[in-house]
């Protein structure tokens, strides 16, 4: 596949997920990822500074979509209703290209401490974006932080459900919103 064909970024993510699964994160090189994706190392580095960053492909876009959804929520929306609007906005933008490598990337993260650290940083960044959007709506900081953390956890749980190979749901937003409802119910049992 010529390196100038469209979809190079998506092919790189899929190739990395495949290679991380087949031979492990540590044994996988950037050159191997680029070759599997039908690109060059230069193309890889145009999209990612290193192979670890493949895991956070799209983090900036997700943060923006969460924040836009929160900002566009109805004026009278509660903080969690605004978070739900952010989850819907971000989830609606994700499709099969995001779904396919999900389980492989999750397995790679589970098997590698360095990737677990980077994944945790990604979640922190997403929570910060959501909390900032809530604060701009006038939500007090502690409430905004808590709602944002619940939103990130709901998205993580919803994405895991949606991307499972045996999942019967084609609706990431539905999975994320169900997860948010479960988390909201769980908070009432905290006392």
HEC secondary structure over 47-114: HCCCHHHHHHCCHHHHHHHHHHHHHHCCCCCCHHHHHHHHHHHHHHCCCHHHHCCHHHHHHHHHCCHH
CA 53 to chain centre: 12
Query: Is pLDDT larger for residue 110 or for residue 98?
Result: 110
As a whole number of angstroms, the distance between CA 56 and CA 83 comes to 21
Does pLDDT of 95 surpass 90? no
- Which residues, including other chains, have CB under 8 Å from residue 189's CB and lie 6 or more apart? none
User: Predicted confidence band at 67 (pLDDT cuts at 50, 70, 90)?
Assistant: very high
Residue 2 has pLDDT above 50, yes or no: no
Does the pLDDT of residue 38 top 90, yes or no?
yes
Quote the mean pLDDT of the chain. Answer: 89
Q: pLDDT by residue (tens digit) across 44-64?
A: 999 999 998 887 777 888 899
pLDDT score of 181 more than 60? yes
Reply yes or no on whether the pLDDT at 29 is more than 90.
yes
pLDDT tens track for 120-169: 888 999 999 999 999 999 999 999 999 999 999 999 999 888 888 787 77
Task: Count CB neighbours of 124 within 10 A.
Answer: 12
Confirm if 135 and 74 have CB atoms less than 8 A apart: no
Handedness of CA 61, 124, 49, 56 (dihedral sign): negative
pLDDT band at 3 (very low <50, low <70, confident <90, very high): very low
The pair of three-digit structure tokens given for residue 76, joined into one six-digit string: 């009278």
| d(C-alpha 181, C-alpha 184), whole Å | 5
Q: Tell me the domains of the chain and their CATH numbers.
A: 8-54 (1.10.10.60), 58-188 (1.10.357.10)
Q: CB 24: neighbour CB atoms within 10 A?
A: 12
């Amino acid at each position: 596949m010529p390196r100038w064909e469209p979809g190079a970024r998506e092919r790189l993510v899929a190739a990395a997920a495949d290679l991380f699964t087949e031979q492990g994160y540590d044994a996988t090189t950037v050159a191997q990822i680029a070759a599997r994706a039908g690109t060059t190392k230069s193309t890889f580095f145009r999209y990612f500074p290193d192979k670890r960053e493949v895991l956070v492909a799209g983090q900036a876009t997700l943060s923006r979509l969460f924040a836009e959804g929160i900002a566009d929520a109805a004026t009278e929306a509660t903080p969690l209703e605004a978070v739900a609007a952010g989850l819907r906005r971000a989830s609606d933008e994700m499709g099969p290209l995001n779904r396919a490598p999900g389980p492989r990337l999750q397995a790679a993260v589970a098997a590698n401490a360095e990737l677990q650290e980077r994944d945790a940083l990604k979640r922190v960044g997403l929570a910060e974006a959501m909390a900032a959007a809530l604060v701009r709506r006038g939500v007090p900081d502690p409430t905004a932080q808590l709602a944002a953390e619940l939103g990130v956890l709901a998205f993580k749980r919803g994405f895991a459900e949606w991307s499972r190979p045996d999942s019967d749901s084609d609706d990431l937003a539905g999975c994320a919103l169900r997860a948010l409802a479960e988390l909201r119910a769980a908070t009432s049992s905290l006392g």
